[in-house]
Structure 1
Amino acid sequence: MNANLKPRIDVAVAVVFNPAGQVLWGCRPEGKPYAGYWEFPGGKVEPDETVWQALVRELKEELDITATEGGPWFRIEHDYEHANVRLHLYRVWAFEGTPKPLEQQAFMWSSLVGNPGLFPILPATEPLLPKLAQPALMALSNYEAGFDACANRLEQALRRMESRVYVQFREKNLKGEALLRAFEHCNALCQKTGQAMLLNSSTWLHLQGHLEELPCPLHLTEAHLLSGQFKELLCVGASVHNTSSLAVAFERGLDYAVLGAVKETASHPERAAIGWKKFHDMALEARLPVYAIGGLGNADLHEARLHGAHGVAMLSRFRA
């Protein structure tokens, strides 16, 4: 069927978390398209419903649970043979009741991290899993403000951290041996604690003369994203400040974007804060997970998720 002639269907998708951090999967029952495929629960948004209302209704009808708290994640489109489907992903972290298979479907709890052990997974869902499983926290290095202070802060936080974290090595003002020393410390610390290290693309330009090859994935500056640089290297995310840059990040196939500044910051006093409402509006259009940045810390994660953030990125306020 011609894509332009297919109906557009809006679908609410619930990624329901239990206290152990596992997510709820359902297996599509016989009689439905893609019967036997595993998916996140949810269903069609009716004309008189908001996405959240549809999600609450579907969870009650399918599994007899009532979603009580959650927030938007992001939305994507998938072209099936029968329709063009726009998936509105919501994270649900609080619900009442115990799941029951009201439609005689199988269901199970499984981790998002690694292989969930389910097969087959709905075509629109499977490519999303690595993006959804990314850490909720991103710490930015700041060795240039004082090597010992940054080293101690990162060491204490990462050694106490029970969850996964992205550590972005970003040093705007260090050069030469001072930059190499900071990188080697951060890299060794990430390896020792099992955390994923990212390298800021601007910092890489100053570091590449000291290294034989790219040591970890790149995080692109907005300028490098828009100029199309580093396409020959592994780039996983980018910093952005508007919806047009978010669109470029999606088209380039990145795993995430970092959007801000949500609040005013001492590191960028010239940049006006966008606030949570504008962040929310832009994140919903992003089509990929978005980290909030700008005057935020670990304690802001809940607020960020209510406004559509995948997680928070932070400079000086990162703590275990």
Structure 2
Amino acid sequence: MNPLQVAVGVVKSADGKILISLRDQSSHQGGLWEFPGGKIEQQETAEQALIRELKEELNLNVKAATPLITVKHQYTDLLVQLNVFLVEDFSGEVESCEGQAFLWVEPDALRQYAFPKVNQPIITAARLPDRYAILEDTDEPLLRINLQKILDRGVKLIQARLKTLPPEAVKKFVEQAYPLCKQKGALLLINSAVKSPDDLEADGIHLTSRDLMFLDKRPGHRRWVAASCHTLQELRHAQKIGVDFIVLGPVLPTQTHPGAEVLGWKRFAELVSRINLPVYALGGMSESSVIAARSAGGQGISAIRAFIESE
């Protein structure tokens, strides 16, 4: 079945708020909130359709749109594909050209509004940044220094991968790191390889691929749950148990494993297209790789060195 193609815009204002509109009561799933957009007509690209729809619906002039996520959903009699773009460069004052209500809301407040189920991955993608830093513990004396470098780069999502530190050292570091992250408005996730990760105060947990495959449901009491994946089986299992986002790799050769088998951007894009979750590309990434990751359907990049070394 060929899916019905729809263009969707996550329109973000200069102060970081996101535009949502209310579906007409007479329409399918009427009375629920949605991100603006509409059906892609014949001979249109997804971006052309988005530009047209936002002008017709809200009188917005889109100057640039960046791919954010693609979501496929099977209704009883219809397969729909939502081609979602992040729109941060636009002009014009929002107007309700078709009589629909609209609101500007903070990203974290999106969860308070009733959306169609198919919109949930979009809400997650809209709340996540395009960079996910991994803080390694291979050089314990540099942990605090490297964390500060990451925060100074403006990174808002960080994984503490503290696999080799003794438990007491992990606890001490996290007790120092979490307040620093909160001060900078950054989220801190703890890698599940540490002993008793649930005892550490943080914003969430990042599951190793091994720990992921042992679970049959999402870990409880965690605001954010991420997972490392390398195969389609792992990706599908992560989606099944309800993780929020995924790190997939290695995409490109790395300095530490130059001869290891890599996915490449083509295979990365193919795997991303099989699930409805935000996915970060890992392996051989630099900050400039964000564009390639987005073009391949990813949320952005995840890296270790890219955020503590100068390009």
Say whether residues 1:17 and 2:12 are aligned partners: yes
Q: Report what 1:222 is aligned to.
A: 209
Q: Report what 2:137 is aligned to.
A: 143
Aligned 8 A contact 1:13 1:40 in 2: yes
Say whether residues 1:110 and 2:105 are aligned partners: yes
* Separation in 2, partners of 1:212, 1:139: 21
Aligned 8 A contact 2:21 2:103 in 1: yes
Q: Report what 1:170 is aligned to.
A: 161
Aligned 8 A contact 1:70 1:94 in 2: yes
Considering only aligned residues, what root-mean-square deviation do their CA atoms show, in Å? 3.3
After TM superposition, list the pairs within 5 Å mapping 1:176-191 onto structure 2: 176=166, 180-191=168-179
Q: Any stretches of 5+ residues in structure 1 without a counterpart?
A: none
Q: Report what 2:40 is aligned to.
A: 45
**CA separation of 1:56 and 1:185: change in aligned 2, threshold 3 A:** same
- 2:262 partner amino acid: A
Q: Report what 1:246 is aligned to.
A: 235
CA shift at 1:153, angstroms?
A: 1.8
* Separation in 2, partners of 1:115, 1:52: 24
SS of 1:14's partner is strand
- Which one of 65, 68, 71 corresponds to residue 70 of structure 1? 65
Deviations 1:127-150 (A, max 9, x none): 752453134332212221x22223
CA shift at 1:240, angstroms?
A: 1.4
* Separation in 2, partners of 1:52, 1:115: 24
CA shift at 1:247, angstroms?
A: 1.6
**CA separation of 1:79 and 1:261: change in aligned 2, threshold 3 A:** closer
* Separation in 1, partners of 2:94, 2:16: 16
TM-score (norm 1): 0.78
> Which aligned segments of 4 or more residues in structure 1 are displaced greater than 4 angstroms?
77-84, 229-235
Q: Report what 1:125 is aligned to.
A: 119
* Separation in 1, partners of 2:75, 2:209: 33
Aligned 8 A contact 1:73 1:284 in 2: no
SS of 2:14's partner is coil
Aligned 8 A contact 1:9 1:86 in 2: yes
Say whether residues 1:55 and 2:50 are aligned partners: yes
* Separation in 2, partners of 1:21, 1:34: 27
Aligned 8 A contact 1:250 1:288 in 2: yes
- 2:49 partner amino acid: A
TM-score (norm 2): 0.80
Q: Report what 1:281 is aligned to.
A: 270
CA shift at 1:11, angstroms?
A: 2.3
* Separation in 2, partners of 1:215, 1:193: 12
Query: Which 10-residue stretch deviates more, 14-23 or 90-99?
Result: 90-99
% of aligned pairs identical? 29
Say whether residues 1:213 and 2:206 are aligned partners: no
CA shift at 1:243, angstroms?
A: 2.9
Say whether residues 1:90 and 2:85 are aligned partners: yes
CA shift at 1:290, angstroms?
A: 0.6
- 1:37 partner amino acid: L
Deviations 1:56-99 (A, max 9, x none): 33223222334343333333345667755433322223335443
Q: Report what 2:303 is aligned to.
A: 314
Q: Any stretches of 5+ residues in structure 2 without a counterpart?
A: none
* Separation in 2, partners of 1:69, 1:116: 26
- 2:84 partner amino acid: L
